[in-house]
Amino acid sequence: MAQTPWDKLVFTLENLPQERFKRFKEKLNKLEVDSYKPIPWSQLQDKDAGDVANRIISNYTESVGINVALRVLHSIGEKEACQDLAKALGIFQHTEQPMETDQRDGQHFVDRHRAALIARVSLIDPVLDELLGDGTLTQEQYDTVRSKGTCQERMRQLYDCVRAWGKIEKDKFYQYLLEENGPLVRDLENN
């Protein structure tokens, strides 16, 4: 019998060291995802991998929940577990270096596709978290962008910062967009 996404998520969570699994649950409890409410700590605290996977899927739906789990794994430094789960699910292939197509005619991917990214990016918060975490955004910039109501407003505000960035910062932005919004980025790359 073929494994379901739930089975693959449970396998991944069961293989985390106990302390990392606890960290996963703590991060999951604090995570804000668009219109979804975080999972209450009481529903995570003493739960095993199967219970946590059930909670993720029932709280977010399967497709959003899997992306949430990937995001949390990545944010707690479990990049290998994140990559293995993504690969098992066929979601995306993470690459350490930006793809060769990120620049064309001297224009960076994030500049060339500004309008489309503003209109179509649906998972901006994890991208912002990564940009803050690696120092690309200051806390003030992060707070200003996060204060905007919709994904489109947040992207427009973020692009005020992007104008001042060099290739390294734009490469990081591109990589985080690829991780969180892979199908959109690949669609834009093919146009």
Summarised one tens digit per residue, pLDDT across range 90-103 is 764 444 333 333 44
Confidence of residue 137 (pLDDT cuts 50, 70, 90): very high
Residues 20 and 57 both lie in one domain: yes
Asked whether the whole model's pTM tops 0.75, one would answer: no
* pLDDT at residue 101, as a whole number: 36
* pLDDT at residue 18, as a whole number: 94
Instruction: Give long-range contacts, CB 8 A cutoff, 24+ apart: 102-107.
Output: 102/170, 102/171, 102/174, 103/167
Helix 79-89 to helix 62-75 angle (10° resolution) is 150
Decide if 94 is inside a domain.
Answer: no
Residues 132 and 83 both lie in one domain: no
Instruction: Tell me what the mean pLDDT of segment 13-34 comes to.
Output: 90
Helix 125-133 to helix 151-162 angle (10° resolution) is 30
Which of 89, 124, 153 terminates a domain? The answer is: 89
CATH of the domain at 44: 1.10.533.10
Residues 176 and 123 both lie in one domain: yes
How many Å from the N-terminal Cα to the C-terminal Cα in the chain?
A: 38
Q: Which domain holds residue 171?
A: 100-189
* pLDDT at residue 34, as a whole number: 66
Return phi, psi of residue 76, to 5°: -95, 10
Return phi, psi of residue 124, to 5°: -95, -30
- Least confident among 20-34, 88-102, 122-136, 143-157: 88-102
Decide if 32 is inside a domain.
Answer: yes
Number of structural domains the chain divides into: 2
